[in-house]
Amino acid sequence: MAAPNQVPLNLHLTLELELMLLGYDIGSSSIKAALVNANTGATIGVVHSPHTEMNIFAAQPGWAEQDPEMWWQHICLATKKLLTLTGANPADIKGIGISYQMHGLVTVDKFGKALRPSIIWCDSRAVEIGEAAFERIGHEKCAEHHLNSPGNFTASKLKWVQTHEPAIYNEIDKIMLPGDYIAMRLTGEICTTISGLSEGVLWDFKQEKIAKLVLNDYEIDHSLIPNIQPTFSIQGTLTEEAAKATGLRAGIPVTYRAGDQPNNALSLNVLQPGEVAATGGTSGVVYGVVDKAVYDKEMRVNSFAHVNHTVDAPRIGVLLCINGAGILYSWMRQQVSLSDRKFSEMSQMADEVAVGSEDLRILPFGNGAERMLGNQNIGAHIHNLQLNTHTRAHMYRASLEGIGFSFVYGMRILQEMGLNMSAIRVGNDNLFQSKAFTETIATLTDSQIQVIETTGAVGAAKAAGVAVGVYSSLEEAMQNIHVISTYFPDTEKGKYEAAYDDWKRYLDKMCQP
């Protein structure tokens, strides 16, 4: 018999073999799925679907839509691919976590069927709707209650549907964020979270309840909002139908959901005040955690409830979002490289070009209205292209610098709000893999940038272990993070500053009325 409080060795081995957690990351480019060993925190496998990027439909300039059914199909494909790759037994999976693209709108009827394509995060059609509501409700009142203007967020997108597609609006039973929709397809349960509602400007921080201020102004039926569940909780269990479609087993609990940027911060163990995360995917984001309800008076950045926010211990994520980021680099690969050249090869070519790209300047803002530019949609621009000087390598470097400069522009707003940028944690699966990009930001912000080996899907998987008791706390779940490398500011800061100042002159010119 084992001594008291001592677990037999063979039981340790059994636990290690059996405890697995599954995480999904529902991006606009692809669906990622990850399996994590709950005992060690080690990643067992990560896959994505499709192999190429998912389509974004734009029927008009500034629009961006995706079919929720497409997300579900790739959830199923990615899950089966992951199980095949790892040989994992679905019976050993103890919980499922979901990360998802923020600010999207999914509308479903009483049967749970999507009534129209999802209006996703980079869609700009509701900008004027949100701005008008901001004026009607009042700037100060919006800021005090919601920490944001209604802007181009989920509530304003719903108002657009109500105004322009009244027949569809009248059929809506519930509205959901993308992660809520996938959770519904997995469990049959429709619910959401405070963190999720806050990203749609559907949460009132002052009254700690659903944002009736905005809903009443928009004349939106309050019953369209799903029931609220804690971010870390049993939010439903896998149905027989979902199990058959995914290859999983019925009964696995879904125990966590969060928007991709709060989840990215969680994945990087950015949970406490003063900690900062960043990501450089299709959009670029910097996300800092504070312990009080703060907001930018000019609404150039946004504040939302972080995953661990509570009334007694507020945790607010201040988010800078740049729509035109990695999508520019993807465009360069598709339209300029004209080959199967990998992003890593493009970055190597960029590293061979001197800082400043020999005066070639690129503004990356071609993916909808930019919040930090006052919701202007100025488009992407190439300035000072010299046909006898500049090559594809210059285009790649100028793109990386232009995206990096846009990060710096926004981060200086965050610094004005009192956020400390001396240390930033980033993942290893996006633009931060580029030396040119990362050194540009580190140098111009005097920051140390730590590159962490993780992904959003891995973070979601680990977070799923909290509600089922695999971990005693969120801190325990996220403690085993691995720092791959650290970037420090370049000692020759002047050349970066000169290039940035020149880039900003072009930006200021394009932003003039």
Q: What is the overall mean pLDDT for the chain?
A: 93
Runs of H (alpha helix) within 277-426? 326-331, 343-351, 392-416
Q: What are φ and ψ of residue 288, in 5° steps?
A: -115, 145
**Banded model confidence at residue 16, pLDDT cuts 50, 70, 90:** very low
Residues 438-476 have pLDDT tens digits of 999 999 999 999 999 998 999 999 999 999 999 999 999
Q: pTM (2 decimals)?
A: 0.86
**CATH number for the domain running over 103-176+194-228:** 3.30.420.40
Residues 224-277 have pLDDT tens digits of 999 999 999 999 999 999 999 999 999 999 999 999 999 999 999 999 999 999
In three-state form (DSSP H/G/I as H, E/B as E, the rest C), the secondary structure along 415-452 is HHCCCCCCEEEEECCCHHHCHHHHHHHHHHHCCEEEEE
Query: pLDDT above 90 covers what percent of the chain?
Result: 84
Domain ranges across the chain: 103-176+194-228, 326-452+486-510
CA distance 30 to 14: 34
Residues 184-220 have pLDDT tens digits of 999 999 999 999 999 999 999 999 999 999 999 999 9
**Banded model confidence at residue 6, pLDDT cuts 50, 70, 90:** very low
- Tokens 């409700």: give the residue: 137
The arithmetic mean of pLDDT across residues 353-367, rounded, is 97
Is the pLDDT at 382 greater than 50? The verdict is yes
Is the pLDDT at 15 greater than 80? The verdict is no
Domain 103-176+194-228 and domain 326-452+486-510 have a common topology: yes
Which of 308, 304, 301 has the alpha carbon at shortest distance from 317?
304
Q: Is the dihedral of CA 481, 194, 377, 58 positive or negative?
A: positive
**Banded model confidence at residue 430, pLDDT cuts 50, 70, 90:** confident
150 alpha-carbon distance from chain centroid: 19
Question: Which amino acid is present at 214?
Answer: V
CA distance 503 to 506: 5
Q: Give the contacts of 307 (CB within 8 A, at least 6 positions apart).
A: 195, 231, 232, 258, 262, 263, 265, 266, 271, 315, 463, 474
**Banded model confidence at residue 81, pLDDT cuts 50, 70, 90:** very high
> Check: CATH 3.30.420.40 for 326-452+486-510?
yes
pLDDT at 11: 35
**Banded model confidence at residue 375, pLDDT cuts 50, 70, 90:** confident
CA distance 333 to 349: 12
